[in-house]
A and B are shown apart, each in its own frame.
Chain A
Amino acid sequence: MALLFSMSSFALATTYLPPAVSLERKSLRIINMHGTVGLPKGQWEMFIQHRFGTFGDGAYNWYGFDQSYMRIGLDYGLGKRITTGASRSSMNKIADAYVKWEIPMKSKSWTASWYSNVSINTNHRATIAGEPFYYSNRLRFINTLNISKNFGDRLLIGVTPSFIHINLANTTTSSNDIPVIGGYTRLKLSNRYALTAEVQKPMSDQFYNVIGGYKNTNRPASPYLGLGFEIFTAKHMFQLSVSNAQSMNETYYMVGENGGNAFKNFRFGFNIVRRW
């Protein structure tokens, strides 16, 4: 009787999810960007990311494999709809923390979330700016509205308008606030494999700052671009990628601190994700 009861409660707990979404629930990230789905309450996710040098580095540097930047982080499902996490990247010595809130949606195929992140550049003061140094010089912020839709069983497409704030811009004419538009897609091939892609670019060449009026966003000619291949094994998610971004932090790669779209500017990278 007890066995029957436990079986029926198990059947209640497993609701049907479209495959594209179910794969979404194996990793919070697409390549660099966050998807809409958060962690269930009480679950942990650990991720390790690597980005190597560019293919243009040549055979002597094994086409970029001789150098790499890494990022390691931990995410936690704080509540039913709240996910939080922190990480450390070796590029620019960044520590960052975020909160993600899943917005309740009526439709099953639409999902949405709000993502808010603060990044701290922990480089030496002299590397960042001169004296007198202010702690605020280290900070960058990003807020993203993440909306995604399932098309059938296999395709997921997301749109991510973001707003980035940089505390210390370079010149008097460069903007501290930068609106960015982008998106991502995931095409599920089977229960184990999926193809992913993501793209990001600042929305406009100029943007109105609360202090200082219209300033240049230094929009790059070519957007951030990433293409990925996902392999889901029994417990781990491997996300192999080719992208033109060296930094794995949104507030750096989204505002164009990466290479152009020529093949020599692209680099190999991977994420390893494990949940428990």
Chain B
Amino acid sequence: MKSVIIAGAVLLLASVTGCYYDNKQELYGSCDSSNVTFATTIEPIINANCVGCHGSSSPSAGISLVGYDQVALAANNGRLVGTMNNTGGHMLMPPGGKLDNCKLNQVNKWIRNGLPK
């Protein structure tokens, strides 16, 4: 009986508390891919999601993503888009799961626009 009460309490806790009706667009603004540059848009994405492993000292797989030149190199040889979208036989990066569509769109747009600084 005791375990039933404990389990019931956990169930209730899990299904009632912490239920929110949020969405990214309302909380964090809509996706702005109109004016994408390296300094304003791409560098923060890369720093938050890639540099942890692909930093300047002993980067993973020998690929550093610190600074414009290194990121532009990865963008030009197709590995940046391939890994981020998990296409063309590239391993998915970051390994924790795909970035959201907004960030992927911004990266794609940046590459299409010719890698503006």
Contacts and interface: CB of A to CB of B under 8 A. Distances in A.
B3 interface: yes
A58 B89 contact: yes
Interface residues of B, number: 34
A67 B82 CA distance: 15
Interface string B45-63: 0001100000000000000
Interface string A49-78: 000010001101100001100000000001
Interface residues of A, number: 48
B39 interface: no
Given A124-B49, A172-B26, A141 B96 contact: no
Interface stretch (A10-18, A129-137, A193-201, A230-238): A129-137
A169 interface: yes
A251 interface: no
Given A127-B49, A129-B27, A212-B21, A116 B11 contact: yes
Contacts of B77: none
Nearest to B99: A127
B100 interface: yes
Interface string B21-57: 1111111111000000000000010001100000000
A190 B92 CA distance: 39
Q: Return the 6 tightest CB-CB contacts between A and B, nearest first.
A: A79-B3, A126-B48, A130-B28, A211-B21, A169-B23, A92-B97
